[in-house]
Structure 1
Amino acid sequence: MFDQGLPSGLGLPSVGSGGVINIQETFLDQNKPMSGSATLPQSQSPDKEIKTQFTNINMQYNFNHNWGMMAMIPYWHRTFSTDNNFGQNTQSIANYQTKGLGDIRVMGMYTGFSDDMSEGLIFGVKLPTGNFNAYGFDRDTQIGSGTTDTLVGGYKVGQYRYWGWYTQGMYRRAMDVRNGYRPGDSIQMLAGIHYDDIRKIPGLTPLLQINGTIRYADSGINSNPYYTGLRTLYLAPGLIYNINHKWQLNGLIYLPLYQQVSGIQLVPKQIVSLGVSYLF
């Protein structure tokens, strides 16, 4: 069992001065057992389903041409179903639930490499604000890791006529161990394109993203290194609709192109994300 996380969890910095507040709802249903890159029957997995609703409040503000900041405040609601009598003659399905504040991310940005602020560095921390003691959940599926993690990454955006493109990457590493548990390092990457000139529907922008994640095995006496770690690649078509110069809607669906896990883990068949943004 392993928390697949969010391929959409990076967020793309906006270019220019001012700021943006975004509320993003993401729905993740991990109900497909896999071992390696092969799908398994449900009967071969003790864990049956992990459903999560992520509510993320994302904020960004550019102080000037060179410096800005980003923050993500997550609220998660997660349910988990497992067979406590797995391998025996009878089933005993148990259902567990946890919800609350997740691990907050606070990051700085340096955007002074070019006049148009189209490339930059991102650096910061993930704070141990989420609960990691919910009953029935392993440490790798808690809504908080209990650790303080460093975050280092970068982005670049570009424009050619009516086409825009963007790339971003983020590396995360835990700086400490909490109650015998240290989450594995992770690398998240995304690349996308969008088209800005649909004249029949002003304000509508289609986009297409590719999101990749590499997460290494957890460590510590309270971890399960043989059943943690993954490599995933998602294709995410989506739409952005600019209501006016202040308000913006977005929606994406993440479709797996490649999923490879350590041990036996539950993975999603798709991920849906919807959001609203306010620019100021």
Structure 2
Amino acid sequence: MKFLRFAVAGSAALLTLAPAAAFACACGCGIFDVGDGTVMPSQTGDGITLWARYAHMVQSDLREKGHGADAADNPDKRIATDFYTIGGQYAINRKWTVMAQLPIVDRSFTTTDEGDYAAPEGTVNTRHMTAAGDAMVRLTYTGLSPDQTTGVGIGVKLPTGRWHSYKGPLGGDAFDRDTLPGSGSTDLQFHAYHVGQVHGALSYYAQGQFQFAVASQDGYRPGNEFDAAVGLTYDMGRSGLAPSLALLGSVRARDTGVNSDTDNTGYSRLLIAPGLKVRLNRRMSVFGDVEVPIAQYVRSADPASGDAGQLVAPVTFRLQINFMI
């Protein structure tokens, strides 16, 4: 068993050298890394926890600042994305935990052709890409309290993902920089968590992470992003069920650089996320939630420019399976 634990931990570390998915993309995918479905060290105890996560997001509603907008104000019409993530977390001891994750993104991008991609100007078409993105590895110090209920740490996102587009038959790029799986940047991430009991079977948690680029490529730097979650979970005991309710928040600064859309990037939002955890046995659990925005503000260019606003998702879904070794 000891050999198996070190073998799996080594495999998880190797994942950090491979491509991962779109966590730095302008869609705000970092929100999937916070919330009750994520694996905090206090939930794992000693040893190894592996997980597989599926998330689905369709950005189809155009917004300008704090309100909905006319779809004619922006050439982009729809971005549909499926995220597939595998990850591993190894508790080195009672004070230190290392985590690695490897997401893959499958994305369809529907936009209005400018006449340089594949069709006459004004033609609406859909482009598709399945690719790996940017690898993430995190180290968390869990020794702030004897029971591991509080922790802080640092992470690194590597520019291993696909950050260049493919060309159409007429030479135009199929995807904008902020819709590609990778950002091309190397980012640092600082994170913290705390969990505790409210009363009896009712527990709470708070979790946050701040990510910013320290190096970028080809005239594109993703905006700094802060994601946080606070929530309640009620453990229903022998049934294995634990319903939860969380508030998730994100604040992202504008992208910068000559290849960024500075005027139409950056946002703040608040989501409510009811969820349910099902404990299948003492080693395996499944968690799912639905995330619905209740307040959001996006940065937007002047609608008269013909390229204003951002596409947002009216709802997102997440399903995660955790397995403890």
Output the TM-score relative to the length of structure 1: 0.94
Query: What residue is the counterpart of 2:216 in the other structure?
Result: 177
| Partners of 1:109 and 1:121 within 8 A in 2 | yes
SS in 2 for 1:235: strand
SS of aligned partner of 1:156: strand
Structure 2 CA distance for partners of 1:129 and 1:246, relative to 1, 3 Å: same
Q: What is the CA–CA distance in structure 2 between the aligned matches of 1:247 and 1:41, rounded to whole Å?
A: 46
Of the structure 1 ranges 1-10 and 139-148, higher mean CA displacement relative to structure 2 is found in 1-10
CA displacement at 1:2 relative to structure 2:
4.3
68, 78, 83: which one pairs with 1:54?
83
The equivalent of 2:293 in structure 1 is: 256
Match of 1:269 among 296, 308, 314: 314
Tell me how large the CA RMSD over aligned residues is. Answer: 1.8
- How far residue 43 of structure 1 moved from its aligned partner, in angstroms, is 2.7
Structure 1 gap ranges (5+)? none
**Which is helix-richer, 1 or 2?**
2
Quote the Cα distance in structure 2 between the aligned partners of 1:24 and 1:177: 28
Judge conservation of contact 1:2–1:227 (CA < 8 Å) in 2. no
Aligned residues: 276
Aligned partner of 2:149 in structure 1 is: 118
Q: Secondary structure at the match of 1:7?
A: helix
The whole-number CA distance in structure 2 between the counterparts of 1:177 and 1:198 is 48
Where 1:174 maps in the other structure, the secondary structure is strand
Cα deviation for residue 6 of structure 1 reads 4.2
Give yes or no for the alignment of 1:141 onto 2:168. no
**Structure ranking higher in strand proportion:** 1
Q: Which runs of 5+ in 2 are unaligned?
A: 1-24, 116-120, 167-173, 301-308
Report % sequence identity: 33
1:244 equivalent in structure 2: 281
Matches of 1:84 and 1:259, distance apart in 2? 29
2:41 is aligned, of 14, 28, 43, to: 14
Return structure 1 stretches of 4+ with deviation > 3 angstroms: none
Please say if residues 218 and 228 of structure 1, whose CA atoms lie closer than 8 Å, have aligned partners that are also in contact.
Answer: yes
Q: 1:13·1:60 contact (CA, 8 Å) conserved in 2?
A: no
106-115 or 91-100: bigger deviation: 91-100
Secondary structure of the residue that 2:204 maps to in structure 1? strand
- Report SS of the residue matched to 2:29: coil
Q: Which residue of 2 aligns with 1:33?
A: 62
For residue 57 of structure 1, report the CA deviation from its aligned partner: 1.0
Match of 2:249 among 190, 195, 212: 212
Aligned residue for 2:254, secondary structure, equals coil
- Asked whether 1:108 is paired with 2:146, we answer no
